[in-house]
């Protein structure tokens, strides 16, 4: 049984074209929400990455969106909690850190090494001449 909706598969080519045209060397991340609804209990969110259902879902998302498996970020929603769950908070903060760290690496790799980056046809950056 596929975990990804048929509609997502239908738009797969469109999604992959969009990812190709916007990437410009920027790592693309896919955030998978509601992992608690695919089999991870809220009480064991700290071990969410170890659940086979999460790994399987992330692999399928990786194939559909054409991104590396390490760039598929599973998170849980807070739809039924009265108070925040520490494990969910840690998971969300860690994943946010991964995205920010990737952004930092991109900036260091592209802007601080002297490469020119075209932001638009009228404007570009080189080194620190912003």
* Higher-pLDDT residue of 72, 38: 72
First to last CA, the chain: 50
**Report field, pTM of the whole predicted structure over 0.85:** no
Which has the higher per-residue pLDDT, 10 or 33? 33
User: DSSP of 30-47, one letter per residue?
Assistant: EEE--GGGGT--GGGGGG
Confidence label for 75 from pLDDT (cuts 50, 70 and 90): confident
- Give the three-state DSSP class for 117: strand
Reported confidence tier of residue 22, pLDDT bands at 50, 70, 90:
low
Asked if residue 1 is part of any domain, the answer here is no
**Total domains in the fold of the chain:** 1
Q: Which of 12, 123, 127, 22 is nearest to 60 (CA)?
A: 12
Q: Which domain holds residue 90?
A: 6-125
* pLDDT the model gives residue 97: 93
- Residue carrying structure tokens 């509601």: 34
Determine, yes or no, domain membership for 85: yes
130 in a structural domain:
no
| Residue 46 within a domain | yes
Q: What is the mean pLDDT of residues 86-112?
A: 86
**Angle 93-72-26 (CA atoms, 0-180°, nearest 5)?**
90
> Which has the higher per-residue pLDDT, 128 or 40?
40
Kindly tell me the burial class for residue 63, based on how many C-beta atoms sit within 10 Å of its own C-beta (0-12, 13-18, 19 or more): middle
Highest mean pLDDT among 5-9, 22-26, 32-36, 73-77: 73-77
């Amino acid at each position: 049984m596929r975990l990804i909706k048929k509609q997502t598969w239908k738009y797969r080519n469109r999604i992959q074209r969009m990812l190709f045209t916007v990437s410009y060397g920027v790592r693309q991340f896919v955030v998978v929400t509601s992992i608690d609804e695919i089999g991870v209990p809220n009480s064991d969110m700290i071990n969410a990455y170890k659940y086979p259902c999460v790994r399987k879902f992330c692999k399928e998302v990786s194939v559909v969106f054409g991104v590396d498996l390490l760039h598929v970020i599973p998170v849980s929603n807070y739809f039924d909690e009265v108070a925040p769950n520490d494990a969910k908070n840690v998971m969300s903060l860690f994943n946010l850190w991964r995205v920010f760290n990737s952004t930092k690496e991109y900036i260091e790799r592209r802007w601080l090494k002297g490469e020119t980056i075209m932001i638009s046809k009228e404007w570009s950056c080189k080194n620190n001449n912003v």
